[in-house]
Structure 1
Amino acid sequence: MSMYGPFLVDVMAFLTTLVAVYLVGNFLVMNLVSGWVKKRGLDETIHDVADSVAHILVVFAAFAIALTVAGFPSFLTAFATLGGALALAIGFASQELISNFVSGLFILKDKPFKKGDWIEWSNGSGTVDEIDLRVTRIKTFDNELITVSNSELANNAVKNPVAHDTLRLKFVFGIGYEDDIEEATSIIMEEARKHDQILEEPGPSVRLTELGDSSVGLQSRIWIKDPARSDFVKTRSTFVQNVKERFDEEGIDIPYPNRTLSGKLEVEEF
């Protein structure tokens, strides 16, 4: 029994140090991390991730300190070597995963968009359904669910039309060359001012922007408040319909392109 005495003492020293360092370290580090995250007003998801990383570091530190105190240098060396090898292997195998993870942290911190926002990017558009640390889930306007890697959204241009309280909409009305431009402009402005979803400030405006092959283009610019895609589509649709009906009442033409084909057809007899 006496031959195992020193070993048992070392084991007891290891276990005692492990538990003590873990409990004290976990208490101190967790409080520091929680305070740091709350002070900077970071997202709850980042808070959870920071807690998980801090917990892992405390566990590793507790093992390393306990092995040192217990006098197990060989175990400590093996532990450090194994940890380094595992970290290297995991790093090579999960480069894309790490990239998405880091991109997710930046998205949550910088907040270029949030859950419920309507966004557009190079490969599509939709409403943000969920932001995870690896991917962002987006519901399309056809009610399909798209899973997009965070690195794609973080490293490319993303348009967020609802990031601000107001949104400007543009639509070009084409009228005939024989029609009165001032009268058509007045009708467009009247219908914009009558629409209850179109803001008075900033006010609507109309500009002549196109001289096409068969029509004169009048671009209307209107502003809506608290934009969402459903509001945007509905407001633009009713506004355009109202203008079209007024044009019809006032005899203003909305022409369509005309093409004239000329030539001759020769028929050969055999």
Structure 2
Amino acid sequence: MIPLQQGSPLNPQQYVPSLVSAVTTVVLFVIAFAIIYLLGKYFMTRAVESGLEHRDFDRTLIDLAVSTTVVMVAVVAVALAATVSGFGVVLSAFAILAGALALAIGFAAQDLIANFVAGVFIIQDEPFTAGDWIEWNGNSGVVREVQLRVTKLDTFDNQLVTVPNSDLTNAALVNNEANEERRVSVGFGIGYEDDIERARDAIIDEGSHIEGVLADPNPAAPVTELGDSAVVLSGRIWIDPEENSYGAVRARFIEAVKERFDAEGIDMPYPTTELAGGIEVTDAGEIETAADD
């Protein structure tokens, strides 16, 4: 202000060194960043992609790893370029701020991160895939789609269920279609007076003629329980869960055996209770007097 008040003219030349220094620093930063970023992206993404493909990782995880690698290369390129060009002090301040921000976001998004990590393991380990019928924590459904954060399933009532991936990885999960063969077991009760061998032959014969039932392993019907009211035979047949519906085959099996038992006169008793003892009536005279009144 003093030079202006005294009428002293401004000298633009005094700002030239600072301006040149700033422009040089910016240009140096841009050039260093471009070189580091382009070279790092080229070599790192190729290395990551080829390494994961060599280990037969899922394509979704490979694409995710490549994208993450690009981001990391960009961050490293900014850091190195800032150091080369002389932005180290500013970079340190931003690094501290970014670290605090990352910590806060990490605490706030713990569940999101847990589901994301669980999704990575599900996609890689494949405990189930789209189309599998799974059960967990008393729930069941057919997998429609596996995403990085959630898994979408269809219930047998045709309802869409969205389940966080961490719930599935932390539960004892049953995949009903993971194996090539699955046993369908149904308990059939017969009366104690009925012929066990006759009932067994009927169960095996009906089971072997149901569409979709495998010939090997053979259908069987061992006695598994002597109940209060019935002798229980476990009808056992085997199916390929990829080709046939467990529920549909089981329903046809039950219906066929019930009709066969009815046709052959084999009893399928329901639970009964037998009371033993007698009833003694006392003071019958008083009861008759009360009735006459």
TM-score, structure 2 as length reference = 0.86
Q: What is the letter of the counterpart of residue 251 of structure 1?
A: G
1:253 to 267, 273, 285: 267
Q: Which of 1 and 2 has greater Rg? A: 2
Contact 1:167 1:227 in 2 (8 A): no
2:256 to 216, 233, 242: 242
What is aligned with 2:56? Answer: 41
Structure 1 residue 194: Cα displacement: 2.0
Match status 1:159 vs 2:174: yes
Distance 1:139 1:21, change over 3 A: same
Number of aligned positions between the proteins: 267
CA distance in 2 between counterparts of 1:73 and 1:187 reads: 86
Structure 1 residue 227: Cα displacement: 3.7
CA distance in 1 between counterparts of 2:111 and 2:138 reads: 19
Distance 1:250 1:123, change over 3 A: closer
What is aligned with 2:34? Answer: 19
Q: What is the letter of the counterpart of residue 227 of structure 2?
A: G
Deviates more, 1:124-133 or 1:189-198: 189-198
What is aligned with 2:235? Answer: 220
CA distance in 1 between counterparts of 2:104 and 2:205 reads: 68
**Moved beyond 6 Å, runs of 4+:** 261-264
CA distance in 2 between counterparts of 1:3 and 1:199 reads: 86
Q: What is the letter of the counterpart of residue 160 of structure 1?
A: N
CA distance in 2 between counterparts of 1:187 and 1:227 reads: 27
1:75 to 85, 90, 98: 90
CA distance in 2 between counterparts of 1:226 and 1:216 reads: 30
CA distance in 1 between counterparts of 2:158 and 2:28 reads: 60
CA distance in 2 between counterparts of 1:97 and 1:173 reads: 48
CA distance in 1 between counterparts of 2:150 and 2:18 reads: 57
Structure 1 residue 128: Cα displacement: 0.6
SS in 2 for 1:113: coil
Distance 1:123 1:175, change over 3 A: closer
SS in 2 for 1:136: strand
CA distance in 2 between counterparts of 1:29 and 1:96 reads: 30
Structure 1 residue 2: Cα displacement: 3.0
Extract unaligned runs of 5+ from structure 1.
Answer: none
Extract unaligned runs of 5+ from structure 2.
Answer: 1-15, 281-286
Contact 1:177 1:216 in 2 (8 A): yes
Match status 1:119 vs 2:134: yes
CA distance in 2 between counterparts of 1:119 and 1:8 reads: 62
Structure 1 residue 104: Cα displacement: 0.9
Distance 1:123 1:250, change over 3 A: closer
Structure 1 residue 59: Cα displacement: 1.1
Distance 1:260 1:227, change over 3 A: farther
Q: Whose relative contact order is higher, 1 or 2, with alpha carbons under 8 Å and at least 6 apart? A: 1
Q: Percent same amino acid at aligned positions?
A: 45
